């Protein structure tokens, strides 16, 4: 694996199946999935998030630090998850978020934000420093001073108080694409959205050499 990440991903079931079908990639099976025929070019509209698989970011993708291997990362995640509590919110809702479609939690997200911050901070010693090229790809000149400081500290600008949990369903859309895709996404996901929405484990994902992300292991939040 080129990089690793810690994500939320739904357990096997109708919600996970609907999401894999929508994006055209099942990270648990490591296989493409046929997308529904909706009268739109869904493959193009979902091309950006497809390679990551359906997920909510907890610890963004990172390379392992020198001297750290996958076994050490897995042990650290196992220990971390054992000391963290699950979080629960009323459900998920479909929104247009910064130009793309996403599912976001309903209700108070304070517990979720605290959980994510703990994972980001406590695993950061396993992350390799960013290269100059990686920093440049984040367009640091467009970041706020606080976001640039977070990029320097944690390798990603949208963590801690800048974090917003979301499950991406499309690439960036123009107004016409958004208007066409939103009702189709709502109809596709509405029967399967979890109520309540519960984050009860940490999912280790790995990026293979072809750029596709795979679900490698789940770690139950057991505190």
pLDDT at 63: 96
CA distance 94 to 98: 13
pLDDT in tens, 144-182: 999 999 999 999 999 999 999 999 999 999 999 999 999
Binning the chain into helix, strand and coil, the percentages to the nearest 5 are 40, 25, 35
Count of domains in the chain? 1
**Cα 99 to the center of its chain, rounded Å:** 17
DSSP-assigned letters across all residues of 121-138: HHTGGGBPPPPHHHHHHT
pLDDT in tens, 82-139: 999 999 999 999 999 989 999 999 999 999 999 999 999 999 999 999 999 999 988 9
Q: What CATH number is associated with residue 212?
A: 3.90.1140.10
Helix axes 14-23, 175-189, angle to 10 degrees: 150
pLDDT at 223: 84
Range of the domain at 39: 3-220
More confident of the two residues 39 and 7: 7
- What burial letters (b/e) apply to 40-79, b meaning 16+ CB within 10 Å? eebeebbeebbbbbbbbbbbbbbbbeeebeeeebeebbee
pLDDT in tens, 34-83: 999 888 899 999 999 999 999 999 999 999 999 999 999 999 999 999 99
pLDDT in tens, 184-206: 999 999 999 999 999 999 999 99
pLDDT of residue 15 exceeding 90, the answer is yes
Confidence of residue 16 (pLDDT cuts 50, 70, 90): very high
pLDDT at 39: 85
88 strand-pairing partners = 198
pLDDT at 38: 86
């Amino acid at each position: 694996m080129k990089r690793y990440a810690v994500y939320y991903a739904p357990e096997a079931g109708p919600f996970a199946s609907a999401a894999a079908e929508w994006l055209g990639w099942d990270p648990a099976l490591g296989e493409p999935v046929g997308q529904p025929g909706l009268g739109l070019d869904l493959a193009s509209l979902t091309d950006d998030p497809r390679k990551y698989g359906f997920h909510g970011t907890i610890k963004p993708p990172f390379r392992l630090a020198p001297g750290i291997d996958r076994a050490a990362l897995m042990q650290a995640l196992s220990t971390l998850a054992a000391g963290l509590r699950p979080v629960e919110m009323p459900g998920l809702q479909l929104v247009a978020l910064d130009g793309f479609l996403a599912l976001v939690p309903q209700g108070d997200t304070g517990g979720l934000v605290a959980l994510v911050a703990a994972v980001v901070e406590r695993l950061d010693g396993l992350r390799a420093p960013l290269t100059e090229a990686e920093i440049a790809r984040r367009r640091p000149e467009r970041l706020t001073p606080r976001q640039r400081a977070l990029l320097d500290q944690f390798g990603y600008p949208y963590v801690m108080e800048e974090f917003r949990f979301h499950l991406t369903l499309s690439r960036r859309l123009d107004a016409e694409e958004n208007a066409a895709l939103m009702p189709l996404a709502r109809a596709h996901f509405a029967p399967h959205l979890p109520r309540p929405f519960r984050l009860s484990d940490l999912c280790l994902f790995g990026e293979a050499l072809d750029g596709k992300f795979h679900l490698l292991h789940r770690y139950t939040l057991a505190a």
